[in-house]
Amino acid sequence: MTVKQLSIFLENRSGTLTKVLDVLKENSVRIIASTIADTAEYGLFRIICSDPQKAFDALSETGVAVALSDVFVVELNRPGQVADTIRLFSDADMSIIYMYSFLFHGKGVLVFRTDNTQEAQNVIQTAGLRSIPESELIDWE
């Protein structure tokens, strides 16, 4: 089970992040998780949000470069589980393209993308990892 994530390309100049956040605010899109990575020329703002298609459409209409992709979101219950989880994919000869994590209500959450979505789903199921569905992420209060 995957979750939709937006990848938003931002120029490294004042006001570009504010513009994106304002568009999301004006469209009542709630950010659930986010991360920003930067290079000398641009930033890459990745978000999981309450309505990814609505956010994608609104940002695209304002000329923001944005892509919608599938990521995995799994629950982590104990220290060291990130290492154990990533090892499962490594042992299956898959690469983790990127990942980020956060703690929410005492539960660890790992968000990641692999180079083989179908095989990753098989690994998650076989290992008994708990995928967090998009609907549950949105409803977390």
pLDDT above 80 for 137: no
Q: How much is the pTM?
A: 0.87
The architecture (CATH level 2) of 71-139 comes to: 2-Layer Sandwich (3.30)
Give me the mean pLDDT over the 64-80 stretch. Answer: 93
pLDDT at 127: 94
How far from each other are the two terminal CA atoms of the chain, in whole angstroms? 22
Q: Which amino acid is at 96?
A: I
Q: Write out pLDDT tens, residues 82-129.
A: 999 999 999 999 999 999 998 877 888 999 999 999 999 999 999 999
Topology annotation, domain 3-68: VC0802-like (3.30.2130)
pLDDT at 129: 94
pLDDT at residue 140, as a whole number:
56
The whole-angstrom separation of Cα 123 and Cα 34 is 25
Measured on CA atoms in the order 117, 122, 128, 131, is the torsion positive or negative?
positive
pLDDT at 8 (0 to 100): 96
Question: What number is the average pLDDT over the span 48-66?
Answer: 96
3-state secondary structure of 101: strand
Q: Do domains 3-68 and 71-139 have the same CATH topology?
A: yes
Q: Over the chain, what is the mean pLDDT?
A: 91
Each domain of the chain, given as residue ranges in start order, spans 3-68, 71-139
For residue 31, count CB atoms less than 10 angstroms from its CB and return exposed for 0-12, middle for 13-18, buried for 19 or more.
middle
Q: What angle do CA 111, 117, 119 make, to 5 degrees?
A: 115
